Amino acid sequence: MNKKIKKILDKKNKSKIVCLTAYSKNIAVILDKHCDLVLVGDSLGSVLYNYKSTKEVTLEIMINHSKSVRLGVKKSLMVFDMPYNTYRNPIEALKNAKLVMKKTKCDAVKLEGGKKIISIVKKLVKNKIPVMGHVGILPQTDKKFTFKGKKLKESEKILNDTKLLEKAGVFSIVLECIETQLSKKITSQIKVPTIGIGSSANCDGQVLVIDDLIGMSESKFKFVKRYANVSKIIENAVKKFKFDVLRKQFPKAKHSFKN
């Protein structure tokens, strides 16, 4: 088994797993120092491209961003989020996942869904492509983005999906916006780590979108905690630059070339 995957699995019930998204190298370099897992999420569709949904994200866009992220990620596990309509059946999924692994040198891929994608997950795992699952809110296909696990039937389905995914060979599962007690139940009943986003502290690890965490997005999601206001820091720097340029304070002789 891939050493990085084993490291993630070994953390279950021992130590929390730290994950964040990255879409380019410079951020990835920072994350790599502190994260167990770096996800090139298709959330980049809304975060960077203002797409209405992740459905618009293409394989090409994801591959290009992942190549950049790969330059920064050395020690963490790098996961590639397979975009919408790139894994509709086992053959298509394998073809695209192989391409992704070859072009981006990522360590694993993530797929959204439960029972419906089990044959796809099995196909990839059989072909030695590590797979991360994703249940709860499924941004690629859900119409409503309300938390999951309000009703018993829905909770039972999600729990069952996680068990099927585990059996199919995923090495971990993202739980997106799943009710607190359901997250607890899933996390205690499956052996692979659960990585929560909006799914309470009951998960084995946590993931957030980096832009939300550092204050580079407008996101107002209940589950986001903003740890910095990088937007403001950049704006202040830009204002100072503008001031210097307008007042001829920049560049100085030390920034210029002379024969």
DSSP result, 47-62:
HTT--SSGGG--HHHH
Q: Pick from 197, 203, 213, 216: which binds ligand KIV (CB under 6 A)?
A: 197
- At residue 243, the 3 state secondary structure works out as helix
* Between 81 and 107, CB nearer to ligand KIV: 81
Verify binding: residue 161, ligand KIV, rule CB under 6 A. Answer: no
92 among known catalytic residues: no
Interatomic CA distance for residues 108 and 201, integer angstroms? 24
* Residue facing ligand KIV at closest CB distance: 41
Least separation in angstroms between residue 233's CB and ligand KIV is: 23
The sign of the dihedral angle between the CA atoms of 10, 110, 199, 113 is negative
Interatomic CA distance for residues 148 and 137, integer angstroms? 7
Verify binding: residue 100, ligand KIV, rule CB under 6 A. Answer: no
User: Residue 41: which of 187, 242, 211 has the closest Cα?
Assistant: 211
Q: Which residue in the list 112, 166, 176, 179 is annotated as catalytic?
A: 176
In this structure, what are the phi and psi dihedrals at residue 107, rounded to the nearest 5 degrees? -95, -20
Interatomic CA distance for residues 171 and 191, integer angstroms? 9
Verify binding: residue 42, ligand KIV, rule CB under 6 A. Answer: yes
Verify binding: residue 107, ligand KIV, rule CB under 6 A. Answer: no
Least separation in angstroms between residue 95's CB and ligand KIV is: 22
* Between 152 and 219, CB nearer to ligand KIV: 219
Verify binding: residue 209, ligand KIV, rule CB under 6 A. Answer: yes
Site for ligand KIV in 22-41 (CB under 6 A): 39, 41
> What's the CA angle centered on 105, arms 167 and 216, to 5 degrees?
90
* Between 26 and 236, CB nearer to ligand KIV: 26
Interatomic CA distance for residues 127 and 24, integer angstroms? 28
* Between 45 and 239, CB nearer to ligand KIV: 45
- At residue 3, the 3 state secondary structure works out as helix
Residue 202 has a CB neighbour count (10 Å cut-off) of 19
Interatomic CA distance for residues 194 and 204, integer angstroms? 5
Site for ligand KIV in 64-83 (CB under 6 A): 81
* Between 201 and 233, CB nearer to ligand KIV: 201
Least separation in angstroms between residue 22's CB and ligand KIV is: 10
Q: Which residues are catalytic?
A: 176
- List of residues contacting ligand KIV (CB under 6 A): 21, 39, 41-43, 81, 174, 197, 207, 209
